[in-house]
Structure formats: structure tokens, C-alpha cells
């Protein structure tokens, strides 16, 4: 064991024990970052997270305004309240970043994820997979005699739960998009 008694969470970005002890509670926040869609902008945002030791739980990005060249990055991150505030301030000061929204604190928000599951099997397992897919409102988007690809949309928890059920039924591959989120209301 290290003789250096450095507090958990205080060393997330360096060897310094510099973080004031505002709160040690780790929070999970969903941020929506609207950026100029220019070369390297995603690398810039991701580099900020890796360079300063922030967490990325999920990241989704696509151009949402083709005329205005705006992309929306939805990033799910965890950290103490102070780290979350730092992340937002650091994002906001980047030149190509137009807006930063913390959907977790700005009121209720809808979070959805899309996933594709390839499940291979025959006989009862195949029938059970199809039955469970119906319960989860997953669509069959590809079918062979011994496999399905299911498409499921929902919260990350729902996608996780579906994956857990498919695993013993012949789950072969998963592709997930990460979270897309919007605040509720107008």
C-alpha cells in the first residue's frame, strides 16, 4: 500500500491533493454540447476530458444543423459537483463550443439510446428471444434461419436489461449508439 494518504477523488487529474473538499459525492450528469462542426472539434472535446482526467461514460455526436454546421455532442460524465462545474466551464470556454447544457440540472429530460443485438439460436431459444423482444418492443431488422438482429430504443437501463436477457439465448454482438437527450417541454 502507498504510504501517501491521498484522498479518493482528489487525484483524478494529477498528483496534487488540491481539490477543496466541497462534496465527495459522485454525480452522473448528461451534458448537451452544441459545437461548430469543423475539423477536429470532437478531438478537441475528447482531448479536454482525457487531458484533465474527466470521465466519459457515453458520448454521442452528429451534425444536427447541416446548414449552420452545428453538431450536438451528448456526453454522460461523472464527477463531484465541483468537477462537473469545471467540466462545463472548460467546455464553455472552448472557441468552437456554442452552448453547454447540463440536462441533469436544467429540468426533466428525455434520454434515449438505440442498440442493435445479434442473437443466434434455434428451437426454443430462438422462440424465447423473439418473445422477449416483443415484450421490450424491440424490432427485428434482420433475420436468417438461425439468427436475428433486434433493434431496441430506450433508456440505457432498458438496453442493459434486454442485453442481460439475450445473453443466455445466444447473444453474439451488440452495437450501442450512446445516449441522445433533450430537455422536456418547449
Interface residue list for other proteins (CB under 8 A): 3-6, 15-22, 36, 39-40, 43-44, 47, 51, 82, 85-86, 89-90, 92-93, 95-96, 98
- The SS3 assignment for 128 reads helix
- Min separation Cβ 66 and other proteins, Å: 18
Minimum CB distance to other proteins smaller for 52 or for 118 = 52
**Which secondary structure element, helix H or strand E, spans residue 157, and what is its range?**
helix 156-166
Q: What is the DSSP string of 16-69?
A: ------S----EEEEEEEEEE--TTHHHHHHHHHHHTT---SEEEEEEEETTTT
d(CA 93, CA 148): 46
- Min separation Cβ 62 and other proteins, Å: 21
Nearest to 84 by CA among 41, 137, 40, 28: 28
Minimum CB distance to other proteins smaller for 40 or for 108 = 40
Minimum CB distance to other proteins smaller for 102 or for 160 = 102
- Min separation Cβ 6 and other proteins, Å: 7
- Min separation Cβ 146 and other proteins, Å: 42
Minimum CB distance to other proteins smaller for 76 or for 91 = 91
Paired with 112 in beta bridges are 180
Secondary structure letter of residue 80 according to DSSP:
-
Amino acid at each position: 500500500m502507498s504510504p501517501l494518504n491521498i484522498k479518493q477523488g482528489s487525484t483524478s487529474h494529477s498528483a496534487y491533493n488540491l481539490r477543496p473538499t466541497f462534496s465527495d459525492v459522485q454525480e452522473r450528469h448528461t451534458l448537451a454540447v452544441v459545437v461548430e462542426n469543423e475539423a477536429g472539434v470532437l478531438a478537441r472535446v475528447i482531448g479536454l476530458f482525457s487531458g484533465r482526467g474527466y470521465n466519459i461514460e457515453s458520448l454521442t455526436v452528429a451534425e444536427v444543423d447541416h446548414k449552420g454546421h452545428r453538431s450536438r455532442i451528448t456526453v454522460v460524465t461523472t464527477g463531484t459537483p465541483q468537477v462537473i462545474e469545471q467540466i462545463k466551464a472548460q467546455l464553455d470556454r472552448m472557441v468552437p463550443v456554442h452552448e453547454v447544457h447540463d440536462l441533469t440540472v436544467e429540468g426533466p429530460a428525455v434520454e434515449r439510446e438505440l442498440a442493435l443485438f445479434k442473437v443466434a439460436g434455434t428451437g426454443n431459444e430462438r422462440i424465447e428471444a423473439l418473445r422477449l423482444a416483443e415484450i421490450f418492443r424491440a424490432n427485428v431488422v434482420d433475420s436468417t434461419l438461425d439468427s436475428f438482429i433486434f433493434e431496441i430504443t430506450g433508456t440505457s437501463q432498458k438496453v442493459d436489461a434486454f442485453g442481460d436477457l439475450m445473453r443466455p439465448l445466444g447473444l453474439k454482438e451488440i452495437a450501442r449508439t450512446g445516449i441522445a437527450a433533450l430537455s422536456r417541454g418547449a
